[in-house]
Every structure is written in structure tokens, then in C-alpha cells.
Structure 1
Amino acid sequence: MHESEVLVVGESYWRRIPGNLPAFFYCPYPLDLNGKLHWLAHSRNEDQSQVPPDTIVIFDEEKEVYSVISPPPLEKLYGLGGHLMDFNGKLGLWVADKNNTIVVWIMENVWINRPSSRHWR
């Protein structure tokens, strides 16, 4: 488990946030969407190589609490891994599969696979 701190606006000190974060390898680029930071979080397998996303960690900037949600079913997708995005104010995730097809998922209470996936080369 990891502890978290926030920098107090207008001050020069960090304040600890109650609660702990699960031990994951985090994507270094969070998505700030609707007052919440979102990260793809990966576990590590025994040989320390990266595995597909296990969860999405969400930090509510106002309440200063963490929550987690499961990503869409990515087990059949390969290549570039997942990337979070803002899709018209909704949480989105895109991945490239082994055929270089971009697959887009949008969170609408549940993950919805967008039929407008595109092939690229």
C-alpha cells in the first residue's frame, strides 16, 4: 500500500490524504476529467514485466478520495496497450489490437464498445 499527499494551494507544504492506495504500477499520464484524475494501473507479474491494465484508479479532487473501476475487457487486444481519453466529457479508453485496428471503449455506467473503431497503418 502507498500513502498519498496533496500540495495545499497557496502554501508550501504537503498534506497527507487519509487512506492508502493499492500497490500498482501507474501510468505516468493521468487524465483530468470532470474534477477527477484517472490512471491506468497495472500489476506486475513475477518477472516484473508489464501486464495489461488491471484497474483504473480515480482520485476525486474535491473529496480527496480514491476509487477504482475495472477496465473494459481487453484480454484479446495487444500492441500499444490502453490509453485514457476524454470522449465528449465521458471517460474513454482506446487500444490498438494486433491488426492495427483502433478500438474505442466509452464509460456510460458500463463500458460500451464504440462501433466506429478504425483501421490504421
Structure 2
Amino acid sequence: MAVWHFYLCLLLTLSASVEIHSQPVRNKSCGACWTGWSAFGCRCFKFFSNSQTWINAEKICQDFDGHLASIHSHVEYVFIQNLIRYTTNQATKAWIGGHDAVHQMATGMIGNVMNRRLLCV
């Protein structure tokens, strides 16, 4: 049974900011995020509101030279929650990067198991 969720992608880049930006984020020590991506530290995040399975969500993130987001701190988790709320005007469940390769099942998610969107980093 395929489970469809929204997702969050992550790009590793050199940019530093904790604000949500609609224009490229620039920082002399970190670089820039693409327009439509949001910077946190030196990483860029994008929330996609089209529902996908975990594997398809990861493939879409890879098309942007990124991966499903991995969360490294509580502060980053709060930033990601705010990014999703800013984008959707509500608390929305999303895929992130956790995956159990042995059992071929996704383990990374924000919220409950059903109806997730994609968050790329």
C-alpha cells in the first residue's frame, strides 16, 4: 500500500538566516538559496504541497540536487514547523529524510503517518 504525503527538501548550501525568504538568501560566508527556498544556517529548505510517497518525494528532492530534510536541532525543528505553517497556513504533516533501508519503509515524518507533503533540504 502506497502512502502519500507532502514533503520537505533540503539543499546544503552556504547561506545563513533564520527568516523565510522569497528572494535568494545571500551571505558572504555561506552563499545563496534559490528563490522560493528558505535558509536556516547554511542549509536551504523547500516545502512542496503536492502529495507523494516517501521514495518519490526523495527523488523530487534529488532533482533539485537535495534530499528530504534531516533535522539537526530543536531550533531547526521549530524553524521547519514555522516554514510549513507559513506555507500552508496550518500545521501540516510532511515527509522528512528518515528511512529504514532494510525494511524498505519510510520512518521520517513530521506529524502522524497519513497524508504527508514533501519537505526538501
Query: Is the shorter-chain TM-score for this pair beyond 0.5, marking a shared fold?
Result: no
With the shorter chain as reference, the TM-score category is: under 0.3
| Structure number with higher strand proportion | 1
- State TM-score, norm by structure 2: 0.26
Please identify the structure whose Cα radius of gyration is greater: 1
**Normalising by the residue count of structure 1, what TM-score does the alignment of the two structures yield?**
0.26
- Which structure ranks higher in relative contact order (CA pairs < 8 Å, sequence separation ≥ 6)? 2
